[in-house]
Chain A
């Protein structure tokens, strides 16, 4: 069962607090910090008082614990079966770890039990040995915080070299691709992993380049016909957004997005047809109008 106290933030906090007490830590500020990091906004009013008062009989009045060992719990069947399911995914090879102790475990699901039906079909080749080794190299460089040099193919098909500080690997489920997010290189902030041909360490150090992400906010007017409201809200759910009801059946949705993704957002808005109208900013509305004008010229009958 997924919803179980075995996985609860309270149990995790108690385990951590008791470990600290066993180490001899009694400073209440340290214990309170554990609660604020591991549990919820109002947990401080419950967890420590319950331990101190003996409501949960694990800690004495002097804040020593009756337990003799730092608390640990083995993995549950559910956790093992999920790990087993993950071990069947082709991308697991990227991580170069063998999942041990799962031979007799039945997976929670197998790849055939689910289907990402609208994923693009030109995703990265996760089975390619070269790709796997470059992925691992970059991942280890991110952890070590060391700069790397990259040989890659640019969008014009030309081979180029770059030196940069690797920051993180960004994955898009829709594109089924990894991108490397970098620092220190003025012109290469995002690199498709599949474009990288070789990678190695580079002895140079890099100055951090401050990148200010330019955000735009588009305001959409939604007419709630043909379930457009729910479709639109779900479609844009992963952005920072705000919605308001402005009429009996009309809503305004303000969606904040990275300016670099503007063309993508334009076609996503168009995909809703006449149920969703872009109201502002004017520059965004003009892009939509331009597309519609061009469409009208096609004289589709």
Chain B
């Protein structure tokens, strides 16, 4: 008999599948060879159950491909948030949860554990032919858990420990704020949990250029933010695509870099073992464990602040022993009379560097960056008007030009077409 359940205990199980189905979506069942076929079937079924209409299928000679296709501009709320609401629980958990909050229905009411035990048995479970039995340690554990979550408060009165519910905050005025921030703030899924507590209302917001993949990494992100707020060292497992085996790293998390143009999230951290700053893809990280408080956090973050002036993307200074490594990037573009918007683009889209007007139709952009290759995709968006370039990293400049030649060839553009 199948032990399949819609709910899951460990989010990591579906995190990887969701990413595969959403980001790639061309793999067939056989391509998921890391896991068993049964595991694949269960996760696919679970995704179908959670994401419903967003799941699509395609028959190919290799088999049936399952993928998630979502136009995030037409989706008012991130559909991946639903996966975070699929945590499994026991029959006892759900029964106890609702009974505890029914007994403690107002912050003025407080009871000790023996009192709660008696009320649960006599006033609630006695209605059933075969009532559930909760021992004191189960109740104590549940109350402790809820105190840690901040929804119950334990207060000592004389020798007795009494439990009451915490004061609540009314969300009635926050509908718009929650509709907006649940989509754009880091860990927006928490905003979605709050929205679940509000009454149905009209959502006035939509989003363009909206990347929703980060939702799957909310748990990791929350742990990293907690480490930063507490200035702690963490150990974290990195499943980088560059290495076959996951690697454990002991690092000091300093800041999360988020891209608005591809949705990727990177952690910039200091790696004490190698005395350097490193960038980690958040979607490759798992098992964040908070360790000791570090006295170096403020000093390291100040160093990162300084470094950011030369970071185009997420690659920090690679210079060893504190040495600063920068590369100069310069290119000029031609702009026609009615193309002011191109000049505006230079100013609007540059992240550092300077723009100079050389004459009425020529502008030069110059920047000093830690990693030239990070700028290449942006420079390519000016293809059709790049008149000159001068990179101190000659390899990158030559590669850029070789790529252009390859593109001409790829699109069948011959010399005589000019």
Contact = CB atoms under 8 A, between A and B. Distances in A.
Interface size class of B (residues with CB under 8 A): 35 or more
B181 interface: yes
A81 B190 CA distance: 10
Nearest to B228: A113
B274 interface: no
B152 to A, nearest CB: 8
B82 A40 contact: yes
A173 B101 contact: no
Contacts of B351: 117-118, 121
B187 interface: yes
Interface stretch (A25-33, A192-200, A202-210, A285-293): A285-293
Given A120-B349, A237-B23, A244-B26, A3 B11 contact: yes
B84 A7 contact: yes
A75 B388 contact: no
Nearest to A37: B200
A75 B168 contact: yes
Interface in B372-389: 376-378, 380-381, 383-389
Interface string B228-264: 1100000000000100000000000001111111111
A292 B125 CA distance: 76
Interface string B192-218: 011011000011111111111100001
Interface string A267-286: 11011111001000000010
B71 interface: yes
Contact of B101 (A71, A119, A270, A297): A71
A238 B209 contact: yes
B259 A171 contact: no
Contact of B204 (A100, A168, A172): A168
Given A113-B256, A143-B202, A277 B411 contact: yes
Contacts of A82: 185, 187, 190-191, 194
A57 B125 contact: yes
Contact of A114 (B65, B258, B348, B408): B258
Contacts of B218: 2
Interface string A70-99: 011111111110110110010110010101
B418 A297 contact: yes
Max chain A C-beta neighbours (<10 A), residue from B52, B86, B350: B86
B186 A114 contact: yes
B222 A67 contact: no
Interface stretch (B87-95, B110-118, B317-325): B87-95
Contacts of B204: 139, 142-143, 168-169
Interface string A222-236: 000001011101110
B169 A75 contact: yes
Nearest to A86: B181
Given A79-B193, A173-B210, A274-B403, A108 B386 contact: no
Contacts of B393: none
Nearest to A141: B204
B71 A239 contact: yes
A273 B334 contact: no
A270 B411 contact: no
A109 B131 CA distance: 45
Given A7-B196, A142-B202, A237-B23, A116 B258 contact: yes
A267 B349 CA distance: 13
Contacts of A259: none
B56 A113 contact: no
Contact of A115 (B208, B258, B344): B258
B155 to A, nearest CB: 15
Contacts of B401: 300-301
B102 A272 contact: no
A122 interface: yes
Given A114-B256, A273-B380, 5 more contacts: A7-B193, A74-B167, A83-B169, A91-B180, A174-B209
Interface of B: 6-7, 11, 22-26, 48-50, 52, 56, 58, 60, 62, 65, 67, 69-73, 82, 84-89, 91, 93-95, 97-99, 101-102, 105, 124-125, 127-132, 148-151, 165-170, 173-174, 176-177, 180-181, 184-187, 189-191, 193-194, 196-197, 202-213, 218-219, 222, 225-226, 228-229, 241, 255-264, 301, 308, 311, 313-314, 334, 344, 347-351, 376-378, 380-381, 383-389, 401, 403-404, 406-408, 410-413, 417-418
Interface of A: 1-12, 14-15, 18, 38, 40-43, 46, 50, 54-58, 60, 66-69, 71-80, 82-83, 85-86, 89, 91-92, 95, 97, 99-102, 106-110, 112-122, 139, 142-143, 168-175, 179, 181, 227, 229-231, 233-235, 237-245, 251, 256, 258, 267-268, 270-274, 277, 285, 288-298, 300-301
26 contacts: A2-B218, A5-B87, A5-B88, A5-B89, A5-B93, A7-B193, A41-B52, A57-B127, A66-B127, A74-B166, A76-B150, A77-B150, A97-B174, A108-B187, A115-B258, A121-B348, A121-B350, A174-B260, A227-B241, A235-B261, A239-B72, A243-B26, A293-B418, A298-B384, A298-B386, A301-B401
